[in-house]
Amino acid sequence: MATLPDDPALPQLHPGSWPASRFLAWLGGTGRMLRQAPLRFLLLCLLPMLVEALLQWGIPVAGVVASKLLVPLVSAACLIATDQRARNGRFSPMAACRRLLELRARWWWISLLSAAIFAWQLIVACAVAGPDAMHGLLTADPAGIARFSRATIAFVLAAGVLPGMLLLTALPRIVLDGWPAGAALRENARWVRSAWKPAGIYFIVSTALVAGFVLLPWLLLMLLPFGYMGYWIYRDVAEHVAAR
């Protein structure tokens, strides 16, 4: 079972109390987990991207809206499967789907909070490239997207990391622990204040990878496994809060 190293100096979410070295603990936990089943974890993180691509390119216009509502649920199932593998040493797709069905009362919150990231990216797109470019992004219209330079696309995609930081532990709390959305968001905000040093490193690296893979596609090979670090950040927060 993959775990993070103990750090008794971090029992509470006090502002600025988490040292920058926690980033290395998250990175180590991610690396140890991925080494246990690298191919399966790679396929698991590709699944939401595949579903999104099929919806957006298979259903004109409405596919983008549908993807922003459905893909977060696919990602939630992948998160459940990741948690099962990390804690129990095995993947169980059916158990993950059953758990997701049990959470159907919270599907709206899962989709809405995730869609908020895309909404922010649309606002950024409109600000830097105009409403026509924003419309192209909203409808996945190739002509509209062609209005973006590669640098602008990189900037718009990377802009999503900022609101994503406000949901980094909130979504796992909702999906894995069944927390109400309000309580999960408040804890996430407290974590950002407490862990601004390691969280700042995570933010900088995430932003660089998201922007960079648009210009250097091979960086996607680093971005995909790096995405699992969010799970270990959640584990770190949950375990230290439980230890209070």
Q: What is the pLDDT of residues 223-237, one digit of tens each?
A: 999 999 999 999 999
pLDDT band at 50 (very low <50, low <70, confident <90, very high): very high
Q: Give exposure, 145-179, as e/b (b: 16+ Cβ within 10 Å).
A: eebbeeebbbbbbbbbbebbbbbbbbbbbbbbeeb
pLDDT at 11: 39
Task: Note the pLDDT tens digit of each residue in 95-114.
Answer: 999 999 999 999 999 999 99
Q: Is the pLDDT of residue 76 over 90?
A: yes
pTM of the complete model beyond 0.85: yes
pLDDT at 1: 55
Q: Is the pLDDT of residue 155 over 80?
A: yes
pLDDT at 65: 85
pLDDT at 198: 96
Q: How far apart are CA 99 and CA 23, in angstroms?
A: 30
pLDDT at 129: 87
Q: How far apart are CA 45 and CA 5, in angstroms?
A: 25
Mean pLDDT, to the nearest integer, of 141-161? 86
pLDDT at 8: 42
The answer to whether the beta carbons of residues 156 and 120 sit under 8 Å apart is: no
pLDDT band at 12 (very low <50, low <70, confident <90, very high): low
Q: Is the pLDDT of residue 186 over 90?
A: yes
Say which range, 45-49, 81-85, 138-142, 221-225, has the weakest mean pLDDT.
138-142
- The per-residue pLDDT of the chain, averaged, comes to 89
Mean pLDDT, to the nearest integer, of 25-30? 95
